[in-house]
Structure 1
Amino acid sequence: MLAGGVGGARFALGLRDATAAADDIRIVANVGDDVWLAGVKVCPDLDSLLYALAGVGDTERGWGRAGESERVAAELTAYGVGWPWFTLGDLDLGTHLARSAMLRDGATLTEATARLAARWPIGATLLPATDDEVPTHVVTDEGTMHFEEWWVRTRAQVPARRFVQHGLERSRISPAARAVIADADVILLAPSNPVVSIGTILGIPGVRDALETATAPIVGVSPIIGGRAVRGMAAACLDTIGVEADAAAVAAHYGARSRGGLLDGWLLAEEDAGSLERVEALGIRAAARPLWLTAGEPAAQVARDALELSAAVRASAPAG
């Protein structure tokens, strides 16, 4: 599974619930949101996935750890260190401190992530898409800022002109991510932000090559429901790259694998069933099902529907 953010975490939980061999789930995560802050390495997408799968995430806020305190954050603010609008909870800081210590001792991000995940039985293998740093910055008329500042502080209210992943051209897909893509039976694109989550993963040199040569069907789950981005600010990202917040338009943005794009299949929301013909016309097999990732059975059913579509794609593939 390629994933990032809250949508990726919720889909990962559904996929784990829907899959008998849960330990065979491999998640390749976005690292474009990563940032060094107050001397520690913060990986928002990796942490959202880790905390959700470990059952320790704050489900009310949608980010961070449950049962948090914020004494250290208050001290940092008093010293004028860090971003006062980007609160790091004390438990969350423990994760960032541990990761930073591992990295400074010479571990790769892949190795550090594995060590963090080993604390809990998460039922999946969590992997960064690259061990290199590819921080996303947002170019606006007010200047250039880190993606997290644009997303959290401005709430995406400052129009973005473009997104830039610094160091992207020098980065490489991690060996572990390449291996799990090559070995996969099914490759799923979570309903994560198509621009700054999935898009950043796809921009890392080697990722598209790995996907193009993979034998597994590639099926995406639409992040659009009823003609609207589920995570509202994702619409601002799509608008920046000139893509309408529409299920068929996002499918077209990814493109059909048979025509040089990415997708073999696209799972749309039942509210967007009217777009099925448009998606099929792109050369992408499509199905419309309920897509709200409500915890428990609803999210698991979304995952089962994605796997069912994957099976249909495989069954329809020409022999050989």
Structure 2
Amino acid sequence: MNVTVLCGGVGAARFLRGLLDVVEASTVTAVINTADDTVLHGLSISPDLDTITYTLAGATDDERGWGLAGETWNAMAALGRYAEVRPAGSGAAPTWFNLGDTDLATHFYRTARLTEGASLTEVTAEIAAAWDLGLRMLPVTDDRFRTLVTLGGDGDEAGSEVTFQDYFVRLRHGVPVTDVRFEHHDARPTDAVLAALHDADVVVIAPSNPIVSIGPLRALPGIDEALVARRESVVAISPIVGGAALKGPADRMLTELGVEPSVTGVAGLYAPVASALVVDTVDADHRDAVEAAGMRCVVTPTIMSEAGVGAELARTCLQFAR
């Protein structure tokens, strides 16, 4: 059985870890959001690609919840010396986005290969091979593509449009949002991505933020059309449990953008492209509302904080997406 998973960052990484306990890695393709990608210090940084890589390699710092285990921060600390003498208006030496010393190696390699003319798809395959992952990891596009967030509230930046990393990291996703849009110009999903969506036996939408993790993928031409064409074998996992996000601002963002922060709200977003929604047991009483939105409702534990839950969640998805 070939499985294609639409992915954001942490939630998708944990699901993929469970999936790889159930099926052979060679049968899994992860289609990963790149609209969060950014350039800092001249380096090409792909947060979702790297989160998935490090998680599947068993290299993450589980106590901190992000980054590599045993990481050090000497380069960032040294950079602070230059931030103190930075002229007004200069973008040099940003320190709001922490890059660990070991993590820098990934960005050095990616940047050098892209400069040599390699595509992001090619570089991602090389990085996955270096970490001996086994599955196929596909950035959704090789083209320039980014998420832009319009800020609300009454702060100094209210009404301004910023990149996702500005919102998520610099502002610590603590500012209300009034709009999200995806700047993709002529960006298109790669042929490999479209083939993965067409050829898979099952497509799973991972428990990632439906607005800023899965939304960018769906914004590219051809993605939704491919999902609609095979809707009966597409299953989505709700990232909202008991009306709240397990990690990140998904629940607040849904509310701010006029979507009910519940599994029912998630069903409304995914019903056009997926036939089933997997929800946690705490949301079992929403079954009728999910089905009224046009999706089969599958109830099972979805919080992957204990060993075995991810694998069982993966088995359930494969069963109900057939």
Q: Give the alignment's TM-score, normalised by structure 2.
A: 0.90
Measure, in 1, the Cα distance between the counterparts of 2:46 and 2:227: 24
Report the Cα offset of residue 300 of structure 1: 1.0
Measure, in 2, the Cα distance between the counterparts of 1:295 and 1:205: 37
Partner of 1:147: 164
Determine if the alignment matches structure 1 residue 131 to structure 2 residue 142: yes
Report the Cα offset of residue 274 of structure 1: 0.8
Partner of 1:266: 277
Partner of 1:27: 30
Once the two structures are superposed, the pairs formed by residues 246-285 of structure 1 within 5 Å of their partners are 246-255=262-271, 261-285=272-296
Give the AA of the match of 2:266. Answer: V
Number of aligned positions between the proteins: 304
Higher normalized helix content (fraction of residues): 1
Measure, in 1, the Cα distance between the counterparts of 2:303 and 2:28: 21
Report the Cα offset of residue 121 of structure 1: 2.1
The structure-2 alpha-carbon separation of the partners of 1:133 and 1:216, relative to structure 1 and needing over 3 Å to count, comes to farther
8 Å contact kept, 1:138–1:150: yes
**1:200-246 deviations in whole A, cap 9, x for unaligned?**
11101121122233477000011111121222411122123211110
Measure, in 2, the Cα distance between the counterparts of 1:203 and 1:224: 21
Please point out which of 96, 116, 120 is paired with 1:109: 120
**1:134-189 deviations in whole A, cap 9, x for unaligned?**
121211141222211211222222111112222x2411011111111111000000
- In the alignment, structure 1 segments of 5+ residues that lack a partner are 256-260, 312-320
Give the AA of the match of 2:31. Answer: V
Once the two structures are superposed, the pairs formed by residues 173-252 of structure 1 within 5 Å of their partners are 173-214=189-230, 217-252=233-268
8 Å contact kept, 2:176–2:253: no
Measure, in 2, the Cα distance between the counterparts of 1:310 and 1:233: 28
Report the Cα offset of residue 104 of structure 1: 0.6
- Give the match's secondary structure for 2:290: helix
8 Å contact kept, 2:177–2:257: no
- Give the match's secondary structure for 2:138: strand
Please point out which of 17, 20, 34 is paired with 2:21: 17
- In the alignment, structure 2 segments of 5+ residues that lack a partner are 84-91
Give the AA of the match of 2:174. Answer: Q
Question: Which moves more between the two structures, 222-231 or 138-147?
Answer: 138-147
Determine if the alignment matches structure 1 residue 52 to structure 2 residue 69: no
Report the Cα offset of residue 76 of structure 1: 2.5
Question: Which moves more between the two structures, 168-177 or 31-40?
Answer: 168-177
Backbone CA RMSD of aligned residues: 1.5
Determine if the alignment matches structure 1 residue 121 to structure 2 residue 132: yes
Please point out which of 279, 300, 316 is paired with 1:289: 300
